[in-house]
Amino acid sequence: MLASLWVLAASATLSLVHGCSDFLLNTTSDQVVSARTMDFYMDLHNLVEVIPRDTLVQELPVRDCPDCPDYAWRTKLGFVAFNFYQHNTAADGLNEHGLSAAYLYLVGSAYPAPNTTDAPLRPIVSSIATYILGNFATVADVKTGLHSVQLVQSILGLEGTDGVEGYAPLDSFPLHLSVHDATGHSIVIEFVRGSVRIYDNPNGVLTNEPPFEDQLAILAHHDKTAGTTDVSFPGGYDAVERFERLSLLNRHANAHFLANTSYSTATPDQAAVAAALHLINTVTIPTAVVEDGSATQYTFVRDHKNRRVFYRSNENQVLKSIDLTKIDFGNPANRKALPVEAGEWHVDVTASVLDSTLHSADMPPRSVVEGLLQGKFVAQANEVMPHEPVKVDSFWTGVAVGATGAAIAFVVLSARKRQPLEYTPLV
């Protein structure tokens, strides 16, 4: 019943909610890749920044706690962060052990009230994603380590939120977090009715509303009503539709393209990153009409095992990468940053085209093609090009073989389309 109510309410309410989507790619290969979109109506002035080990982090002010004591700590691990407002406050990132932590919007989040008396023993932490990236190597470490601090809501939302036409100023960012590690484990951290809740997330997908347990209920409702059919997907951009679409497509992310084709020759790591991009593209805001002028400000792909991040911005779709294995996180001088939108927005290959020795094959007269279709391969070919009989025989025989191969491929593809997709319920 709860799932049905959320589906009915989604079109009326969630289209006005700030969106983000995050998922861990479902694959049977040894690649561990995840991706997210950052969708928001307000300019977050995003920086991608290298944060070395032993960097000092001052915790943010706490909502409704003007007397909360200062708390500063130093990063144990280096990481690459995507920061809010050009401050050292991570919205997302990947650390040197392949652990990621990502904020996503969740209206209705109710954080625990800080206990200032307990602060000396359990410090008050408000920049939660930064804290996770700078301190923990695995999901298991996160589960254990967060018990030693108090997780609270910051008032970062006060900054830069005025003057946006059509929207009231925000006094906070109600958030939940998606965390993945290099072994392929995922958790969700939420703040519900004043308590911290940590959930295992074998589905690997998270969007916004409703809270995570209700998202899983919606997916279970789909499985119950749709059976084993995942051929029809929700097409909208509210949080429920994005969650369902990513979950259903991710079920079949490990399905392979036809082998030995020009479009299926990538290395395993390239193929995994490409697959993640294909899936995250399905929830990227394609036009300002969808979200009343807001945008997918950036798309971020994390290669957890190979320690690389890939990203692109709204109007700069060239994929850029940072290799964490090439960074000395022990050197404080390596704390450097770039605006997310920086860099060339296209790749000019004019010189490469003009330097190439390749070109397409010219077609023979249509009468020769007709002859080929009727089986008169060598005879007609030699009439056209009698001066090179050996080469022509070889060429036209190759054409015949190619045509036969294409016919076989068509038959195989038609047969594949008639086979049911493998289906494994996720929840």
pLDDT at residue 6 greater than cutoff 80: no
Question: According to DSSP H, which parts of 347-424 are helical?
Answer: 350-355, 366-373, 377-384, 389-418
**pLDDT in the model for residue 171:** 61
Q: Which of 5-19, 234-248, 383-397 has the lowest mean pLDDT?
A: 5-19
Kindly provide the residue ranges of all beta strands, DSSP E only, lying in 124-236, ordered along the sequence: 124-125, 150-151, 175-180, 186-192, 195-200, 205-206
- One-letter identity of residue 251: R
pLDDT tens-digit readout, 146-164 = 999 999 999 865 444 444 5
**pLDDT in the model for residue 97:** 99
Q: Which of 49-53, 218-222, 361-365 has the lowest mean pLDDT?
A: 218-222
Tell me how far apart the alpha carbons of residues 138 and 143 are, in angstroms, rounded to a whole number. 9
pLDDT tens-digit readout, 341-363 = 999 999 999 999 999 999 999 99
Confidence of residue 219 (pLDDT cuts 50, 70, 90): confident
Tell me how far apart the alpha carbons of residues 51 and 134 are, in angstroms, rounded to a whole number. 9
**pLDDT in the model for residue 227:** 63
Question: Given its phi and psi angles, is residue 377 left (phi above 0), alpha (psi -120 to 50 degrees) or beta?
Answer: alpha
Confidence of residue 414 (pLDDT cuts 50, 70, 90): very low
Q: Which of 86-95, 291-300, 416-425 has the lowest mean pLDDT?
A: 416-425
Reference 134, options 76, 93, 180; nearest CA is 76
Confidence of residue 34 (pLDDT cuts 50, 70, 90): very high
Tell me how far apart the alpha carbons of residues 392 and 386 are, in angstroms, rounded to a whole number. 8
pLDDT tens-digit readout, 391-412 = 444 455 455 545 544 544 443 4
**pLDDT in the model for residue 165:** 52
What pairing do the DSSP bridges indicate for beta strands 124-125 and 150-151?
parallel
- Eight-class DSSP state of 261: S
Confidence of residue 166 (pLDDT cuts 50, 70, 90): very low
**pLDDT in the model for residue 392:** 42
Residue spans of the domains in the chain: they are 2-347, 368-418
Confidence of residue 18 (pLDDT cuts 50, 70, 90): low
**pLDDT in the model for residue 1:** 40
Tell me how far apart the alpha carbons of residues 9 and 372 are, in angstroms, rounded to a whole number. 61
Mean pLDDT of all residues in 17-35: 90
**pLDDT in the model for residue 423:** 35
Longest dimension (CA), the chain: 97
pLDDT tens-digit readout, 278-333 = 999 999 999 888 877 788 999 999 999 999 999 999 999 999 999 999 999 999 99
Percent of the chain with pLDDT over 90: 63
Average pLDDT, the chain: 84
**pLDDT in the model for residue 256:** 82
**pLDDT in the model for residue 288:** 82
* Chain-centroid distance, C-alpha 149: 29
Instruction: Considering only residues 155 and 426, tell me which one the structure prediction assigns the higher pLDDT.
Output: 155
343: buried, middle or exposed (CB in 10 Å: 19+, 13-18, 0-12)?
middle
pLDDT at residue 102 greater than cutoff 50: yes
Q: Under CATH, domain 2-347 is a member of which superfamily?
A: Penicillin V Acylase; Chain A (3.60.60.10)
Tell me how far apart the alpha carbons of residues 365 and 51 are, in angstroms, rounded to a whole number. 64
pLDDT at residue 375 greater than cutoff 80: no
